[in-house]
Structure 1
Amino acid sequence: MFFFSFSCKKNENTVIHIPNKDTLWLKEKTVVFISPSLKKIEKLKKEQGEDFYTIADDANYYYANSTEHMDSLHEKYTNQNETVILAYKDGTKTKVIPKQKSDWYSILYKDRNFKVVDLINFTEEYSLFLNHSTK
């Protein structure tokens, strides 16, 4: 199964996902929310015990705030787990966004620039990134 999202509007995301290679190709403005896979969640539960549920509840709260913000702006975003490879073209080079240690975070991408953002600061960082990357 292939997932293609193309937009005629210049301010919306264009994302091509090729599942067989677990790669999400970023083009134009894109917001990606990353969360742990089911396998990783099971591992975290074993490692963190009861603390896992507090951490996961906090992450879900900040994720909900972040997606509500995106929805209020009528902006698109995608949800992925940590197993996805995020890549983009920079001229003839392919660049891969490095994996993060955090289990829940977001990636902001625009014009061959990206920023890793903690969900706690998403609204502010999203605004700063857009203002900085449009100059």
Structure 2
Amino acid sequence: MKNLIFIFSMLLILSCKDDKRTTKNHIEKKTEKVDSKPEKKREKEEKKEQEKFNPIKENLERIKKEKILVNKTSVDLNDLFIANEKSIISVYPNETEIEKMKEEIGEEDFYTVADDANNYSYEADIFIKSRSMKSYSTDKRFIQFVMKDGDTVYVDTDKIESKWVMVLCDGYDKPYSSSLIDIEMNFEELDE
């Protein structure tokens, strides 16, 4: 009987050890699966987000889709600035637009916005000069670009959201607008 109890005890002990190993292995495998799934999923989601959010590409695509061109019959020749082929035009608000903005947002806020715009404009001008690019400034509503192929295109700056903006033209593709802040990024596209 003692032998039988001893054998039974040994079997019980051995079976428990085996269960512990199996349970331990099972827990480790389960932990690996649980840990690796979120990590792989997170990596996949991050990659997808990076592909989805490309601010340079997104910004240029949005800008180039802007409907800022108009036909010549829409142009007021008294409110027209004529530009050469490849150039950057800094556009700022005229007196009427300034008064309208003051009414809409208040005089104090207007001067805050104007101060910021002047600062960004200064920084953009420094960048443009460092690239030896032709640049001009205007408060005219319309800008005429004479393209390298002889065509003439007209930009209506009223169709651009911001009143302080730059219009870029390489002489081949249609002109497009750029915020003062994004000029370096958009200039690279123009410079290619």
> What TM-score results when the alignment is normalised by the length of structure 2?
0.52
Using the alignment, how far apart are the partners of 2:110 and 2:96 within structure 1? 14
Secondary structure of the residue aligned to 2:184 is helix
Using the alignment, how far apart are the partners of 1:55 and 1:21 within structure 2? 28
Secondary structure of the residue aligned to 1:24 is strand
The residue type paired with residue 29 of structure 1 is K
Matched, 1:23 2:80: yes
Using the alignment, how far apart are the partners of 1:89 and 1:76 within structure 2? 14
Paired position in structure 2 for 1:74: 132
Identity across the alignment (%): 26
- Aligned pair partner of 1:61 in 119, 125, 132: 119
CA shift, 1:89, in A, is: 4.5
The verdict on how the C-alpha distance between 1:97 and 1:112 changes in structure 2, with shifts beyond 3 A counting, is: farther
Please tell me whether Structure 1 or Structure 2 has the larger radius of gyration of its CA atoms.
Answer: 2
Using the alignment, how far apart are the partners of 2:150 and 2:188 within structure 1? 30
The verdict on how the C-alpha distance between 1:87 and 1:41 changes in structure 2, with shifts beyond 3 A counting, is: same
Paired position in structure 2 for 1:107: 167
The verdict on how the C-alpha distance between 1:68 and 1:127 changes in structure 2, with shifts beyond 3 A counting, is: same
Using the alignment, how far apart are the partners of 1:86 and 1:73 within structure 2? 22
Point out the more displaced range, 37-46 or 88-97: 88-97
Using the alignment, how far apart are the partners of 1:22 and 1:104 within structure 2? 17
CA shift, 1:44, in A, is: 1.0
Structure 1, unpaired ranges of 5+: 1-19
**Greater fraction of residues in helix:** 2
Using the alignment, how far apart are the partners of 2:98 and 2:128 within structure 1? 25
Using the alignment, how far apart are the partners of 1:93 and 1:71 within structure 2? 27
Using the alignment, how far apart are the partners of 2:134 and 2:150 within structure 1? 27
Structure 2, unpaired ranges of 5+: 1-76
